[in-house]
Amino acid sequence: WGDPAYGGESFAVRGQLRNLRQIYAAGNVFVAILADGSVVAWGNPNFGGDCSGVQERLRNVQQVAATICAFAAILQNGSVVTWGDPDFGGDSSAVQQQLVNVEQIQATAGAFVAALA
């Protein structure tokens, strides 16, 4: 509930919000990890509220971290999937080969850091 511009309207994804494991919030977006390890995002698409570009890769998600405009998900195999504003960490392609065996991700307002095994 609340201002739709800040994720307060989940009508478009309401049917998917069942069997939730964890909910994360950042900026204008909410992200839910479902019991099956998939992810649902809603809110302002400019701030990471649209993960459709990486949806097929968001399987077996273990943890999510967020900057103010981007999200990073650790998968069960230790790899990382990111989405959202590239200037705030939503594009990890430059470091993707280094993001293996990731155990934890932390974030500031505009950057991520990963702890490797």
Q: What is the mean pLDDT of residues 11-33?
A: 88
User: What band does 17 get if pLDDT is binned at 50, 70 and 90?
Assistant: confident
pLDDT(28) > 80: yes
User: What band does 99 get if pLDDT is binned at 50, 70 and 90?
Assistant: very high
pLDDT(107) > 90: yes
pLDDT(9) > 80: no
pTM (whole model) above 0.85: yes
The per-residue pLDDT for range 62-94, each reduced to its tens digit, is 999 999 999 999 999 999 999 999 999 999 999
Tokens read off for 83: 């989405």
